Amino acid sequence: MEQQQDLLRYVLSLGDDALTLGHRLSEWASNGPFLEEDIALGNVALDYIGRARMFYGYASELTNGEKSEDDFAFLRGERDYINHLINELPRGDFAFTMARQLIVDIYSQLFMTQLLESNDPVLSAIAHKSIKETRYHLMRSKDWVIKLGDGTEESHQRMQTAFNDLWGYIPEIFEPDDTEQRLVAAGIAVDTSALKASFDAQLSRVLEEATLEVPADEWAVRGGRKGYHTEHLGHLLGVMQSVHRAYPGCEW
């Protein structure tokens, strides 16, 4: 029973990561720098929202259908969400979005590669589908970070500022909580702490190619997996959940 509860919490955390970031990316709809990129960002957003649906769908199965994927997405408050904080931050400018994407995409590729080996067949299947999307996402974000970092003086400064502002949100994603540690021991979850060295090496290579400096600041914020969030998540959920809460049970 304890492992079942651990698994439910773990699956929800992965769904929350995907949904919050997918929503932030969707905010670029009609606001992209040009039409092709506007469409591309929308497609990446849909990939993440689709990933969230897979995790929430599995969570629904773990509750024997007592809660639906919509319940998990639209009827939980901010303290019930357990996503990593980096995913809920406002979209910022285009440099900020691409810097965050590079961080998340490198992490996601490493994470999904390991999740393929999970003893849980559903998680392994989700990873199998997600890894294909993640490779494309990483190719895009890496390309944009290099273009902007090694571009004009303004684009370089914007990209450097973005990484400076995001740097303190990175440590959290490599610090598994007690739930994850128990599932790692059972061969179900990914040991994210073991991904850090490879992540650092990949990110450093991209920053060097982009003529960007690795931020020296050692500040760090944590708490997302415990339900402690920035003020931004409440606003995100207020917008995202408004229609569902205004018309509960409505079928379109």
pLDDT of residue 157: 98
Q: Is 66 exposed, middle or buried (0-12, 13-18, 19+ CB in 10 A)?
A: exposed
Euclidean distance between CA atoms 218 and 45, whole angstroms: 30
The pLDDT confidence band at residue 32, using thresholds 50, 70 and 90, is: confident
Q: Is 12 exposed, middle or buried (0-12, 13-18, 19+ CB in 10 A)?
A: buried
Average pLDDT along the chain: 95
The pLDDT confidence band at residue 36, using thresholds 50, 70 and 90, is: confident
Percent of the chain residues past pLDDT 70, beyond the cut:
99
Q: Lowest-confidence range among 103-107, 137-141, 158-162, 248-252?
A: 248-252
The SS3 assignment for 64 reads: coil
The pLDDT confidence band at residue 38, using thresholds 50, 70 and 90, is: confident
How far is C-alpha 148 from the chain's CA centre? 22
Q: Is the pLDDT of residue 217 over 80?
A: no
Query: Is residue 17 within 8 Å of 87, Cβ to Cβ?
Result: yes
Q: Is the pLDDT of residue 1 over 70?
A: no
Q: Is the pLDDT of residue 59 over 90?
A: yes
pLDDT tens digits along 103-156? 999 999 999 999 999 999 999 999 999 999 999 999 999 999 999 999 999 999
Euclidean distance between CA atoms 141 and 147, whole angstroms: 10
pLDDT of residue 92: 96
pTM: 0.95
The pLDDT confidence band at residue 250, using thresholds 50, 70 and 90, is: confident
pLDDT of residue 2: 81
Parse the chain into domains and list their residue ranges: 1-246
Percent of the chain residues past pLDDT 90, beyond the cut:
88
Name the amino acid, one letter, at 63. Answer: T
Looking at domain 1-246, its CATH architecture is Up-down Bundle (1.20)
Q: Is the pLDDT of residue 177 over 70?
A: yes
User: Torsion over CA of 125, 113, 192 and 189, rounded to 10 degrees?
Assistant: 30
Q: Is the pLDDT of residue 61 over 90?
A: yes
